[in-house]
Amino acid sequence: MFESLSDKLQNVFKRLRGKGSLTEADVAEAMREVRLALLEADVNFRVVKDFIARVKERAVGQDVLESLTPAQMVVKIVNEELTAILGGEESRINFAPRPPTVIMMVGLQGSGKTTHCAKLANLLRKQGRRPLLAACDIYRPGAIKQLQVVGEQVQTPVFTLGDKQDPVGISRAAVQFAGENGHDVVIVDTAGRLHIDEKMMEEVARIQAALQPTEILLVLDSMTGQDAVNVATEFTARLGVTGFILTKLDGDTRGGAAISIRAVAGQPIKFVGIGEKPDAIEPFHPDRMASRILGMGDVLTLIEKAEGVIDEKQFNRVQAIIQSMTRQERHDPTIINGSRRRRIAAGSGTTVQEVNRLLNQFGQMRKALHGIAEMEKGGKRPRGFQLPFMR
């Protein structure tokens, strides 16, 4: 994801680092290139304008230009401002004080709404919740059957009264059923359309009025760029959306929707879809996403993904090592010298050898993934490749 944008931004920063010292003219030139890169990535032009203004104002200060490493200070400022645009901090699901919590899923047809109802149910089930899926799309042929199929895949029951009942009545009955049968979350799959129309908006508004849901999550196809942002703005204004789920983010090489949506629509991205499998959904972390976009890596997400393939005791030691690093060390492990390794080992209750092993594995993984990307660009794919933690 964000491949083209990341490459362009990294080139800008590489040229800055090569200068040693910076002038206001150097910063201005770099910001022009960053501005162009963001616009080409389909980021909303007002968002780009405000972003560049804030970065430039901070970056031309004397404390930056006269620092020992001004280029690194500029990159730090860009990272902080990009994190702020993306939402600042992770925005989690709000749960009702008295169950069941009602999560209403809305969106256009083709955005992945029904499959992400199941993905969200799967994520919540793994967190110890007992979700129930409610089939309230009575219009699209096969919608109820699709929800039943994906619900079975994630071991989550589906409440349905067929396609002859009113969606408001179905949703009310689903919430009542959940309360009587120990389900603490109800995920309501509503009907979508190919485009926004009055009939769709009136129906979801009636369901909202009847259920008073704790969360209204709008599912958006990130590949549609600014169209997704426009849909987000419309739904939020008319329905009071509380958050977004961006789907197909793994295929979005530009990133315009992800970067623009929080600033334009005013509500946070809560989850991102990153594939077809039932577990291909992640909570959205603005700071980690900013690091990905800027090509700084994402150690924390890497460790979280590794949890499923290494035993729990080993993972706990790895987690302790990561948490004993400073923020700067997590962003750039290459700065971790001998004294830093000893400090990290002491802080995590591990050995220097274990710290070295983790850093070596991360370096090997980064190198291997870079090699894969290069081979895929050339139309080649390695055979029998395994990531270090899979061996």
Q: What is the pLDDT of residues 115-143, one digit of tens each?
A: 999 999 999 999 999 999 999 999 988 99
Last residue of one domain, picked from the residues 293, 308, 324: 293
Distance CA 357, CA 125 (A): 34
pLDDT tens for each residue of 342-355: 999 999 999 998 89
Total domains in the fold of the chain: 3
pLDDT for the residue 33: 94
Which pLDDT belongs to residue 300? 52
Q: Do 128 and 185 sit in the same domain of this protein?
A: yes
Same domain for 40 and 135, yes or no, is no
| 252 CB burial (10 A radius; 0-12, 13-18, 19+) | buried
* CA distances (Å), origin 245, targets 74, 249, 262, 269: 31, 10, 12, 6
Asked if the structure places residue 96 within a domain, the reply is no
Task: Return the higher-pLDDT residue of 333 and 1.
Answer: 333
Average pLDDT, the chain: 85
Residue 241 lies in a domain: yes
Co-location of 39 and 73 in the same domain: yes
- Tell me, yes or no, whether 225 lies in a domain: yes
Q: Verify that 57 and 171 share a domain, yes or no.
A: no
**pLDDT number for residue 253:** 62
Tell whether 215 and 150 lie within a shared domain.
yes
What does residue 179 show for φ and ψ, rounded to 5 degrees?
A: -65, -35
Same domain for 263 and 198: yes
Position 362 in a domain: yes
Residues 261, 277: one domain? yes
Structural domain boundaries enclosing 11 = 3-85
Q: Please state the rounded mean pLDDT for residues 171-199.
A: 92
Check pLDDT > 90 for residue 72.
no
Domain boundary among 46, 61, 85: 85
Average pLDDT (277-300) is 81
Do 186 and 237 lie in a common domain?
A: yes
pLDDT at 60: 84
* Each residue's pLDDT tens digit, 25-53: 988 999 999 999 999 988 999 999 999 99
Task: Give the per-residue pLDDT at 214.
Answer: 96
Check residue 21 and give its pLDDT.
Answer: 76
Q: Is residue 92 in a domain?
A: no
Q: How high is the pLDDT of residue 187?
A: 98
Distance CA 89, CA 75 (A): 19
Question: Is 136 in contact with 167 (CB distance < 8 Å)?
Answer: yes
**Same domain assignment for residues 241 and 269:** yes
Judgement on whether residues 186 and 318 belong to the same structural domain of the protein: no
Q: Which CATH number goes with the domain that contains 221? A: 3.40.50.300
**What's the confidence (pLDDT) of residue 301?**
58
Q: Which of 40, 58, 85 is the last residue of a domain?
A: 85
281-283 and 269-273 beta bridge pairing: antiparallel
CATH number at residue 39: 1.20.120.140
Q: Could you tell me if 369 and 361 are in contact, meaning their C-beta atoms sit under 8 angstroms apart?
A: no
CATH number of 317's domain: 1.10.260.30
Q: pLDDT tier at 288 (50, 70, 90 boundaries)?
A: confident
pTM of the predicted protein model: 0.73
Confidence check: pLDDT of 384 > 50:
no
pLDDT band of residue 298 (cuts 50, 70, 90) is low
Do 278 and 345 share a domain, yes or no? no
Distance in angstroms (rounded) separating the CA atoms of residues 391 and 174: 46
DSSP 8-state class, residue 225: T
Residue 373 has pLDDT above 80, yes or no: no
Residues 140 and 50 reside in one and the same domain: no
pLDDT tens readout for residues 204-257:
999 999 999 999 999 999 888 888 899 999 999 989 999 999 998 877 667 788
Residue 11, in any domain of the structure = yes
Q: Is residue 137 part of a domain?
A: yes
Q: Does residue 91 lie in a domain region?
A: no
H helix intervals, 266-337:
286-293, 299-306, 312-323, 327-331
